[in-house]
Structure formats: C-alpha cells, structure tokens
Structure 1
Amino acid sequence: MSSLPFPLSAVVQPFSDVVHALIAGVARLDKSFNPLVTLQRLRAHRFTLWDTIYIFHIANATMWLTLMTDPGYPTKLAIPVLYTIALLIPFTSQFFVPATPVFSWILSWYSSRFMPSEWRPSISVSLLPTLESVLYGANISDILTRFTHPILDLLAWFPYGVVHFTCPFVVAAFLWLFRTKSTLHLWARTFGYMNLVGVFIQLVLPCSAPWYELIYGLTPANYAMKGSPGGLARIDTLFHSNTYTTGFTNSPLVFGAFPSLHAGNATLEALFLSHFFPQVTKFIWAYAAVLYWATMYLTHHYLIDVVGGACLATAFFYFFLPDELRGPAALAPPPNLHLGGPGARNKYDLYDLEDPARGGMMLSAREFDTVSEPSSDDEEVDITYRSPVPGTTSFPSTIQAPPPGKKATTGNASRGKGHRHTASIASLIRGEERGPEDGWSPVAGSFPFTSTATGRARVD
C-alpha cells in the first residue's frame, strides 16, 4: 500500500482497514441458533444487583403494551413473542440483550400517544420562552429564524433530518468493528437509557416548541393538537414531498420540546467518538455544533432545550463510563483484529505525525538514520573509556592511550559501529549531587584509579 500515491492510499487504506475489521467482526459473532446454549448460559450466570434493571424493563413494556391500541390485540402480542425468541437464540441475543434499553425507549416513545388524558399534566406554552429570555437576555431561537434561505435550509436539514437518524448506527458499527465488545455494550446502554429518561421528562414536563409560538402564540395548548414540521416544511416543498410534514404531524410526542433529544444524541455521539476515536474529535463536534444551530433554525427547539439535552447526554456518558475505559484501554482494538502488516497505516498516520512525503518538515526514517548513525567512512569511537569531561580522555593504567589517528582497542572491543550521539550518564549528573556513597567517583579532568602499591587514589 505504500507504493500507492498519497491521495489514492488515503482512500484505499481506510477501506482496507474496514474490510479487515468486518472480517474479524464476523468471526467474533456467536453463530449458534440453539436456544439450549442460551439457557445453559443463563443458568451459569451469576446474578448481580444490576440485573434487577430487567424487572423495570419488563414492567415498562407491560404497561405500554397494555395501553397500545395500534396495533391492537392480539396482533400486538407478536411484539413480546418475537422479542423473547430473539433473546433465546444465541445469534440474535448477542444484539438484542445489550440493546434492551434502546428497545425500551422506542416502545415508550411510540406508545406515549396512547396515554389517557387524565394521566397527562397540563402543557406549558410560556415556560421555555420565558426561561430563554431570562437566562440569555433574548429569545435566541427567534433571532435565528428571522432570516431563512434555501442554502441554510439544506445545511440545517442534513444533520437534523438525515444524520440524526443514521449516526447512532454508524457509531455502533465503528465500535463493533474497531473497539472491544464492552464499548459497544456501553454505547447501547448509555444511548438507550439517556433517550428513555428524556422521553419520561417530556411526558412529565410537556412544553411547546418554537413552531407553536409562531403559529398559535401563547394561547393554551391541548393534546388534540397535531404537530408541525416547522422549518422542515420548506424541505418538503424543495423536494416536492411530504415526508417531514406527515412524520411530525403524527408525532407521538407533540409537546416534547424539553430536553432536545436531537441535541442530546449529537452530544452523546460526539463524546463517544472523541473518546474512543480521538482522531475524529474536531469533525464530530463540528457536526454537533451545526445540529445545535439547526434545531433552533428549524423552530423545533429553544436554546434552553439544546442546553438541557447536551447536559443530559454528558451526565449519562460520564455516569456509565467505567474506570477501565477511561485510560488507554479505550483505544484497544478487539482481540482478533490486527491491522498491521503490509496493509497497515504508516507510522506517521499511526501516531498522528506529519509525513515528510506529504510536505512535512519531519525527517524520514532513512534521513534520521543517516544523521544519527555514522557512515562507513566516519571514524568509529569506542565509548568504553570516553571521559565525561569534554576535551579530556583518560585510560586505565593497563591501557595505553592510542596514538593520534587510531582507536583504543581492548580484548572485548566492540565489533559493530559506534554511536556518535551516545553520552556518558555520569556527565549528565552534576558533580555536587553525587558522591562516593552513591557509587560515583569524583568527576574532574579524568577518572581516579587506586594504586595497588600505596592504596591511595591517583589520577592518570
């Protein structure tokens, strides 16, 4: 791959890495379809206090399935039946068990439309705009919507209406391909519970979005009102469709403005990718920043909704992030993934250094070797008896100093090349900080040697 030109290798190499990671990921999958294997694992499982969370999921699913009227009974019984089958088969359970919080959130979000009116609290239409003005001195979302343009509409639509729905799957795929299994489970757990709590907050504290204020002002709202696509209606007009108009009009949570789960999901994705893939940090946070703006530009959220969603995501990320994934282990690849060899990235890409072949000022490995190592024509210097004091050279009494132009040799003289840049450790330590009790001899113009005749030190 190194023989390819830089622009081509920059495309081919990542593709090669993804293919290798995909092959390794498929090899790691449990391909068994025998439910007895799952039952044996369940019997061998050591239950902990955390496992009681599944009691909550069962109770939550039971409540929403009971309230669900579309699909009605007995068709809706297919949901728990199929899910139970997916949990029993090892091949599918490896996906469905970690994703239980995600499915619990989806079920809660969809079935919230069937809640009886007497269970629902009153809708606040003035709380968010009032807090917006008090906290920030102005209605920021209103200011951002005063000027619209088709280019701005497209710029806001792509992250809000497209990437928002696909990015969670992209994050999960990259964690599965290039990081350990525990990171993928962490993503599913954090993503699912954050959105589930967000839906519960929206149900307990229903608030109207900016589009409601533009259409109805501050008149009281009721649950019979339909949702609105807000600024996304301009996208439907641009593409001659009614995708967003239909979707938002029939939204289960019409008055779920606070917190913004669009902002929450973008923040969580940015936190995960910047933590487990630091090389994409600036790109994913740029996406999050554009989405923050898009939520207000499209009149779907106030600024306080965006802040609330970002804070919720940050709290869940650091609450669920285990200590063992806070250090270098966060970058550890799966055990069977090895991207080394001929197809691996070069050392400059691996350590995020500037490659001189791409116009950088760093020395290449060959250039560094040329500078660091003496050539065959250079005079080799034996450092065995090199003096730590520049300009002086001393030898033991049993070794005669070589004549000028020749090297000192001993019976154990090195046969390889010397290294011009090797320095004596003794010369790097200040004389006043070492002494005989530390195993050092006083360093002066030469090394001291003990005379066998007088027993006193002398200097040659």
Structure 2
Amino acid sequence: MPPRSNFVFAGNRIYAAFQAAVGRMDKSLNPRDTLWRLQKHSFTLSDLVYFIHIFNSAFWLVIMRVPGFPVKLFIPVLHVSLLLVPFTSQFFLPALPVTTYLITFYSSQFIPNNRRPSIYVSLLPTLESVLFGANISDLLTRYTHPILDVIAWLPYGVGHFTVPFVVAILLWLFRPKQALHLWGRAFGWMNFVGVVTQIIFPCSAPWYEVIFGLTPAEYSMKGSPGGLLRIDNLLHSHGYTVAFSNSPVVFGAFPSLHSACATMEALFIAHFFPQAATFAWVYAAVLYWATMYLTHHYLIDVVGGSCLAIAFFYFFLPDDLKGPLATASPTGVLANGSAQGGGHSNGRSKYEIYDIEEPHLDGNGFSYELSSDAASDEEETGIAYRSPGPTPVGTGRDTPSSAMPLIGPAAKQARRSHKHTASIASLIRADDRVEDGWSPIGNSSFVFPPTPTRLERDIR
C-alpha cells in the first residue's frame, strides 16, 4: 500500500474512532444526574481514597500563598463544578490522582524553609560510583553536540509534557474505558508518590555538582535548566531557563519523574498496543539517556523512577485487563475479531467454546443450519428449525397457499452437523438409533396421549 494510502487509512480510522468515542460520551450538563448517581452508588472501602484527595487538597490550599485568599477558593469551586457536571465529570473524576499530584507539586514551594529536611548533595553521586563503578551521568556529559542536544531535547523537553496526553487519547479512542481509568490512577498516584518522595528526601541534581561542586545547598537557590540552556541558546529564547529557575521542586533529583513517566507510557503502550511496543521502549531508552546527558539526573535516579513506574503499573492493573480485554475495542470486540464476554480469557468466541456453528450471512440476515444431510432434513432437523416449505400433495400436510409468499426456499447446502442437537422426532425414535450413540428415553410402547374429543372436553 502506498504511503499516502496508509495515511488516508489511518486518518479515516482515527476519525471513525473519534466519532464513536464522542457517541459514547455522556453529554448531560445537569448536575442533578451526578447527584442522582451518587445517591444510587453503593459505597465500599475503596471509596475511602476520596478522603485522601480531600485532605491533601485542603492541606495544600491552606499553605498556598499564590494566588492568595480569597482568589484561591476559585480552585476548589471550579474543581467541584467540573466533577458535578456529567459531561466533564467523566474525564475529571478518573483524573483525580493527576490533579492531586499537580496541586502537591505546585504548592510544595510554599513550605517554610525551616520545616524542610536537609538537602543531600553528595549522596547520589556517591551511590552512583559505588553501585555502577563510575559517575555515569558525568561521563555522558563529557561530549556535547547540537544534534545530540536536539535528540535529547525532543523527549525530555517536549515529549514529557505531550506524550501523556497522546497515550490518554489513544486509550480513549481505541480501548475500553477501564484502560483510560487505569491510566489516570496509575499515572497520577505514581507522580504523587514521586513528588512526595522528592519533598521529604531532597537531593541535588548533576547540574548542581557541575556549578557548585559538593558544597551544601540551600532552598533559597534557584534551579538551573542544565543542558537545556543550550536549547534556549539554539532557539534564541529563555523558556527553559525561566521554567527551571522557578521550579516548585528544585532539589527533586530522586526519583526521576521523567524516567518514571516514560516507563509508565512504554508499559501502557506495550500492554494495550503491543504492535507499537518497540517504538515505545526506544522512546523511553532515549529519554533515559537524555536525563543524564542534560545533567538533570543521575543513573540511580533513572533506575528509581523506572522501578516506581513498574510497581504502580502492576499494582493497579486489574485481572480483567491482563487478558484479551487489554487489546479489545471500546465495544468489547477483540483484536482477532471475536467478541469478549462471558468471562472467558482465552480469546475464543462463544461459538468455539461451545463447539457450535457460527452464524453466517445468507442475504436475509443470520442463518443457522444444524444438519449436514440434505436427504434427512425432515428426519433429523428439529421442529424449531424445520422449514415450513411445501410438502407433496396428498400427504395430508399441504401447506396453505396463503402462507406461501412468506416462505423462502429451503436451504440445501451441506454444513457441519451437531449430533448433540437432537430434534423431538430423533429422541422419539432413539430406540432404533442406539448404534449411532443415541440413548433411548423409554421403550417401544412410548406413544403420545390421545387427544380428547370435544364432548370429553365439554364434560370436563
């Protein structure tokens, strides 16, 4: 297929998936619908997690100084409004862990310096040399080049902020909604635990060692863009210099949330889109190298962040998303075309599981045919499936002519038979077919009870 045709096909598929995703959305703007669902909800112990969200948000709102009171009250009001409206709630409710992480990351800068723990300057480079035999991040920065700067900048300075949205959109378009909810939980709680670790265990990054050596650090120091300063010079801008100089968490080297996010993204892509696993892990590997090349993290930070992502991915991954449902479409159709259902995790369709013939299209809709012997249709086909076609004249079973326009021709094509599907007539004559594997249900004297006459019915 020509490249242009591939792009057209991919574009049409994405557009069709987008239309289907929009059709599945809850478009209600009435908060009463959300309140009604809340009244009908059966609360469990897992719902206690919402108290963590409330307590965490209240704590950081109290110490938040910018924006000040009462403007900062607009933040919880807006958030609650988005959760009450069904149209926005379907996105912001699963993303609660992400918003919890964001408010924690931003408001941590307002913690009083006298309440913060001491900053570890020499711990990470020492562990780096002990565990890996050398300061790997220092070795990777010995040689720099503009081409290498761009290669490192794309995943670290661009992909880190855009790829999470790309993964979420792909899950929303092409996978069941459980996958998107899993992404919100795993990605959000991973970043929340990571930033809390950085707050209670502050460590300096390699750029600090390059600039200040191993001298003690203070919280009053500004952050540095490190190797991204060369990107600012290349682009004739000051974006990364301003952003990292005003970072809420200056001494947050361990664990590396850049590597944690890249690992989480690669795990999700490899699990839910296995055909793109190679590209996802190549992207993650390049970002691992970029974190050290740009002097933002040590190798031990990268390892710590990756381990954090792996732990949270498998901790939150439910059992039903470990099987074929992981690659199913939002409607439950598996990648092999069969339907997911009935709790079967082996990917087989229900027709294969019960060894029955799959319905086929005959031009008038689905058609089922349970007998392969055209000559014995009258004998072995159940009465529920027997065609009411015309019978020979004189047999006493002539078909009324008024029903003929509604009767199609009887199918004569031979198909696979199923002896475990027995007709009433076959069961009645089971005594004569013991050699075929049929079990008799009675003796040869089995007869239908006589039909009462009208006089007998009147007497009763």
Classify the TM-score, shorter chain.
Answer: 0.7 to 0.9
- AA aligned to 1:260 is S
- AA aligned to 2:116 is R
Measured after TM superposition, the shift of residue 119 of structure 1 is 2.0
Of 48, 53, 67, the residue aligned with 1:52 is: 48
Measured after TM superposition, the shift of residue 179 of structure 1 is 0.2
Measured after TM superposition, the shift of residue 116 of structure 1 is 1.2
The answer for the alignment partner of 2:253 in structure 1 is 257
Is this contact kept in 1: 2:327–2:334, CA < 8 A? no
Task: Give 4+ residue runs of structure 1 displaced > 4 Å after superposition.
Answer: 336-341
Quick check: 1:98 aligned with 2:65? no
- AA aligned to 1:335 is T
TM (norm. structure 1) is 0.72
1:387-402 mapped onto 2 (5 Å cutoff): none
Of 261, 265, 269, the residue aligned with 1:269 is: 265
The answer for the alignment partner of 2:224 in structure 1 is 228
The answer for the alignment partner of 1:455 in structure 2 is none
Kindly tell me: are residues 121 and 338 of structure 1, through their superposed partners in 2, closer, same or farther at Cα, counting changes over 3 Å? closer
Q: Distance in 2 between matches of 1:252 and 1:236?
A: 20
Of 240, 245, 249, the residue aligned with 2:241 is: 245
Measured after TM superposition, the shift of residue 6 of structure 1 is 3.0
1:107-256 mapped onto 2 (5 Å cutoff): 107-256=103-252
Q: Distance in 1 between matches of 2:123 and 2:268?
A: 32
The C-alpha deviation readout for 1:259-293, integer Å capped at 9, x for no partner, is 00000000000000000000000001000000000
The C-alpha deviation readout for 1:299-344, integer Å capped at 9, x for no partner, is 0000000000000000000000001100111011011889999xxx
Residue aligned with 2:35, SS? helix
Measured after TM superposition, the shift of residue 118 of structure 1 is 2.5
Q: Distance in 2 between matches of 1:172 and 1:119?
A: 37
User: What is the aligned residue count?
Assistant: 342
Quick check: 1:85 aligned with 2:112? no
Measured after TM superposition, the shift of residue 97 of structure 1 is 0.6
Residue aligned with 1:108, SS? helix
Is this contact kept in 1: 2:329–2:335, CA < 8 A? no
- AA aligned to 1:230 is G
Q: Distance in 2 between matches of 1:17 and 1:159?
A: 27
Is this contact kept in 1: 2:202–2:251, CA < 8 A? yes
Residue aligned with 1:125, SS? coil
Kindly tell me: are residues 7 and 121 of structure 1, through their superposed partners in 2, closer, same or farther at Cα, counting changes over 3 Å? same
Of 38, 42, 58, the residue aligned with 1:62 is: 58
Q: Distance in 2 between matches of 1:45 and 1:307?
A: 41
- AA aligned to 1:77 is L
Greater length-normalized contact order (CA 8 Å, ≥ 6 residues apart): 1
Q: Distance in 2 between matches of 1:295 and 1:271?
A: 19
- AA aligned to 2:177 is K
Is this contact kept in 1: 2:325–2:332, CA < 8 A? no
The answer for the alignment partner of 1:424 in structure 2 is none
| Identical pairs, percent | 64
Residue aligned with 1:46, SS? coil
Unaligned runs of 5+ in 1: 342-413, 417-438, 440-460
